Structure 1
Amino acid sequence: MAPAPRRLVLVESSPQDMPFASGSPSAQPLAQAWLQLLDAAQESVHIASYYWSLTGSDIGVQDPSSQPGEALLQKLQQTLDRNVSLAVATSHPTLARNSTDLKMLAARGAQVRYVPMGHLTRGVLHSKFWVVDGRHVYLGSANMDWRSLTQVKELGAVISNCSRLARDLEKTFQTYWVLGAPKAVLPKHWPHNFSSHINHFQPLRAHFDGVPTTAYFSVRGTPRPTWSPAPPWTALQPPQRLLCPQGDSRGASALARLWPGGREIPAVPGGGPSSRDRWPGRCLGGLQTLCQVGSRAPAQDWGGWGSASSSVPLPLCGEGRKKVAGHAPQQMPFPQGLALQPGLSRDLVSGQGCGPRRGVALSRCEALPGTGDPAFSGKSGPAPPPTSPGSTCPAGSQTLEGGCTEGSQVLEPGVQNRGSALRDLSPKQASPPQLCPHGRTRDLDALLMVMREARQFIYASVMDYFPTTRFSHPARYWPVLDNALREVAFDRHVQVRLLVSCGLNTDPRMRPYLQSLQAFSNPAANISVDVKVFIVPVGNHSNIPFSRVNHSKFMVTEKAAYIGTSNWSEDYFSSTSGVGLVVSQRPPGAGPGVSTVQQQLRQLFERDWSSRYAVGLDRQAQDCTWKG
């Protein structure tokens, strides 16, 4: 019998008494999608959720709108009665302190683990996804809360009959499961069975409903703060405990693709260059120096390090050789047994033979794990965990899809950091261990890469938007996403639209940041940046706390759709755990009546944007109260 076709369906929930115009596009109701997943379950249901609150009594509210949540809880009990295993990973301590949902399910045979993220990373488990039978997946903004079905606006996606993606997301669930075990500690290196081969550079390629599709999951990694220019060749810090071992297919192959004609790359002070679109988005295996190969690009082409002396590219070949990090080029250490990517040669490493070939020069190569790196060895499969202090970044640094951390410093991928746009972190602000095993694309990297690849528009809908931290004291400036939006609008004239939630519990400190972004728009210069707030009418639902809000977290461009679980502030990309889904579908593969996921998500965004619930900043009431 032919296998069932793969499907990807957008799902949403709309608050009661918030109708859209007749004929408006819509997605499948979330409550219906969850019940269908449970009906389809034959062996297992694994759920990662921030908290559980599926009944009105959990929050002391008697309201008819809690019925879908209570029906879902009953369906979960019935699923257990069919001998389908149920495993739940949830954050500890929980927000829903009076909820009895999980105790009730555990009494029926469910396995529950409470993950102490506060103890492990000083954050929370903020993921919201299901994996059913190792074949079906739900991922989106909705918590296991009855209000997410009837009182809060949510958006997500259901993937059906795709075992490769489901098994890949299952590995993320298993990381939470391990950390929820009694006396769990952060592993120095995740075992290989937690590794992934599906990421931004190697996405799943398949047909969904006959449409050619690429897809991958991103996960929350190390925090991505900005830092001030560090002195060149900062001293390496003591090794840190890693929750994220080295990623796969690091920079050599990416460099070969991005610089086919040969370019000069800046020296890497304290971890790596920030060269806008030219940075390949890989940890370059402890690179502290990259070598010019073939033709030389002008220094100003790279921007990046302001007036610091390290902003000048350091040619390591021919007459331009310079001493770097205490090594003359011909003296740079090179590990024994490291097989070079085709096109690289020891001549380049030694600073000789600078013909029109592709290549990189490496220093501090003793940090590389040998031939285990597929990008250098040409072999497939994950690299074995290095022995101490081995890491694919220098000792004491951590691997990132966009670079390496150096102690508490983190390289921002794809964002040009000018002058004081970089700064150091104090010890108490240092990066917590990473939350993504081998081969994963970090969530922030995924967002930035989707932005960077846009050429026509970027439409984003998020609950909160802060170019700062929100939950640390004192707050820290964190303009990574804000700068990325401004950059694509200015440099490539991409149309940017940002739709942000505005409700009774919205932090009023967000408003000036939205006004600042809106003020960046300049139609005369073909810079289009528009910001609106989305206000859900409270109506006669004022008795329900923490509801009547747009909780969606998604972004769409003409090339890709991103559906995530995080608000846009630094905290959600540092100490919390979360997951994102990046999908791209090719229009030529879509037959009559079939639209790509980008087109579907764009239609939902434009419905919200043009609705009477979305208002400009000049019309916004300070208290976010719906005026009708």
Structure 2
Amino acid sequence: MIQNTFVATAVLATIILCSSMVTVSSVVIRPNNDNQDKCDGGRMYIAESIPLFVNLTTNVSTYDAWMSLINNAQETIDLGLFYMTLTDGASYPSEYGGYMGTNFYKALITAANRGVKIRIVQNEPSASMPANDTEALAAMGAAQVRTINWEALVGAGILHTKMIVVDRINAYVGSANFDWRSLAQVKELGVIVENCKSLVEDTRVAFEQYWDAANMSQLPPKWPAKDDAKYNQTHQAQLNLNGQDVSMFLAVSPPEFVSKHRSGDIDALVAAINAANQSVCISVMDYAPTSFYNYPNTFWPVIDNALRAAAFNRHVSVRMLISHWNSTNMKIIPQFLHSLDAVTNIDVRWFQIPDLPFEPQVPYTRVNHAKYMVTEQQSYVGTSNWSEDYFTNTGGLSYNIINADFTAQLQSIFNRDWDSPYALPVSTW
């Protein structure tokens, strides 16, 4: 889970950046004449975690999607992650769902035993967030594990990404951490891409950057040619997924990891807002036009300005679902949400997931941890919360997708949540 979810804020590095330091990454338009890149016969779908005892339904669970990826792996599994605590749920009674994390952990071991090469790159562990699971996998020879000292390389922040790349043709990017709670007790959303070598290979490049960075004492001023991106905001992959035409690309943060031809995550996000003509729907755990983890916090209105301009200048309907739970930063977030809600054409609601119907409660759970946006024409599914820190010095990814059916599915999920009893007026707090 995010910094202020599964660990205390004190674990975070000091982050001191101002909005003027955010630059638009340059992208190059290059023609794509390779029809073999279209991934004919490939598939893409949404995977969600719905916390147990929450009255919402989904087509594919994160647990089922992840298990399918790992159980069908033939050669390689690459995991990029913040941390791994899959086995911790075993200490809870079965109704808590801890078996999901344990089963996924065992599936990794089983894959390794049948000869699948597993690599894991993770953020540097801490006393409050140990690496027991990954250390055990490494000790038994089931995985190669590397750790990134993110603060030493970037200056602040963490590796906060959540990605799976399997056999160089299947991938997951989304909000779910490699934590049993993310499978059973936290609301998550991500994208699965299957049988699509071109896009997944471009996604794997981001993993390789993490993998290489773990062995670096400082980041290169320029990433080598092997880390060049194939697709970006102005040169999107033209794919055939689910039997339909799909335009799609991966964006990354922070700027230090934006290799040649790659789009920056904040650039892709703001461009999607700016392109909206009818609606913008956002579901994210934390939102504020500020930094969260430095002191004093700094104002950063990059996204806020785009939303206000969309609503005021173009009369775009903007709806936002922001999580309210025990770890919500109530000193920063509410004031900005109330301000946005006061703007014509902007409607903001809290999303609150009820506690378990029995005790004990599980720390750092019962929250909507998703990070996505859907407009009338495209979808953004990422790994970052929406504050300055995540886009300027935290490692994250997003899939950016243009396809009518996928957008309709994501919009349906947003509408389901918006109309649910868990969505409350922002004036509640």
Query: Which of the five TM-score ranges fits, normalised by the shorter chain?
Result: 0.7 to 0.9
1:602 aligns to 2:396 (yes or no) = no
Distance in 2 between residues matched to 1:111 and 1:520, nearest whole Å:
51
SS at match of 2:294: coil
The alignment partner of 2:297 has SS state of coil
Using structure 2 for the length normalisation, give the TM-score: 0.87
Q: C-alpha displacement at 1:108, in angstroms?
A: 3.0
Cα distance, 1:5–1:541 mapped onto 2, change above 3 Å: farther
In the alignment, is the contact (CA less than 8 A) between 1:462 and 1:553 conserved in 2?
A: yes
Q: Residue 257 of structure 2 aligns to a residue in which SS?
A: coil
Could you tell me which amino acid in structure 1 is paired with residue 271 of structure 2? Answer: M
Match of 2:118 among 76, 79, 86: 86
Map of 1:43-442 to 2, 5 A cutoff? 43-56=75-88, 64-94=96-126, 97-109=129-141, 110-121=143-154, 122-181=156-215, 183-222=216-255, 434-442=256-264
Q: Which residue identity does 1:613 align to in structure 2?
A: Y
The answer to whether the 8 Å contact 2:83/2:129 transfers is: no
Is 1:507 the counterpart of 2:316 in the alignment?
Answer: no
Distance 2:257 2:417 in 1: 33
Q: State the match for 1:490 in structure 2.
A: 312
Deviation of 1:188 (Å):
1.9
**Offset at residue 207 of structure 1 (A):** 1.1
Match of 2:50 in 1: 14
- The runs of at least 4 consecutive aligned structure 1 residues that moved more than 4 Å come to 60-63
Conserved? CA contact 1:80–1:108, under 8 Å: no
Question: Cα RMSD (Å) of the superposition?
Answer: 1.6
Contact persistence 1:51–1:95 (CA under 8 A)? no
Structure 1 residue identity aligned to 2:163: F
In structure 1, how many angstroms separate the alpha carbons of the residues matched to 2:185 and 2:89? Answer: 16
What secondary structure sits across from 1:508 in the alignment?
Answer: coil
Matched, 1:543 2:366: no
Task: Note the alpha carbon deviations across 1:354-402, whole angstroms, 9 max, x for none.
Answer: xxxxxxxxxxxxxxxxxxxxxxxxxxxxxxxxxxxxxxxxxxxxxxxxx
- Tell me the matched-pair count: 386
Is there any run of 5+ residues in structure 1 with no aligned partner, and where? Answer: 223-433, 522-527, 588-595, 623-628
Aligned 8 A contact 1:68 1:149 in 2: yes
Larger Rg: 1
Which amino acid in the other structure matches residue 124 of structure 2?
A: H
More strand as a share of residues:
2
The counterpart of 1:582, out of the listed 387, 390, 400, is 400
Distance, in Å, in 2 between the alignment partners of 1:49 and 1:78 is 20
- CA contact under 8 A between 2:254 and 2:390: conserved in structure 1? no
In the other structure, the counterpart of 1:320 is none
Flag the 1:131–1:94 CA change in 2: closer, same or farther, 3 A.
farther
Cα distance, 1:93 vs. partner? 3.1
Query: What SS class does the counterpart of residue 101 from structure 1 fall into?
Result: helix
Flag the 1:10–1:139 CA change in 2: closer, same or farther, 3 A.
same
Task: Report the AA paired with residue 315 of structure 2.
Answer: H
Q: Which protein is richer in helix relative to its size?
A: 2
For the pair 1:612 / 2:421, whether they are aligned, the reply is yes
Between 1 and 2, higher relative CO (CA 8 Å, sep ≥ 6) is seen in 2
CA distance in 2, matches of 1:549, 1:55: 20
Instruction: Show the counterpart of 2:7.
Output: none
**Which 5+ residue runs of structure 2 have no aligned equivalent?**
1-38
Cα distance change on mapping 1:103 and 1:462 into 2, 3 Å: same
Percent identity over the alignment is 36
SS of the equivalent of 1:516 reads helix
**Per-residue CA distance 1:69-126 (angstroms, 9 max, x = gap):** 0111011100000100000010013476345211221123210000110111111001
Structure 2 CA distance for partners of 1:505 and 1:603, relative to 1, 3 Å: same
1:54-77 CA deviation, whole Å, 9 max, x = no partner?
02269x756642110011101110
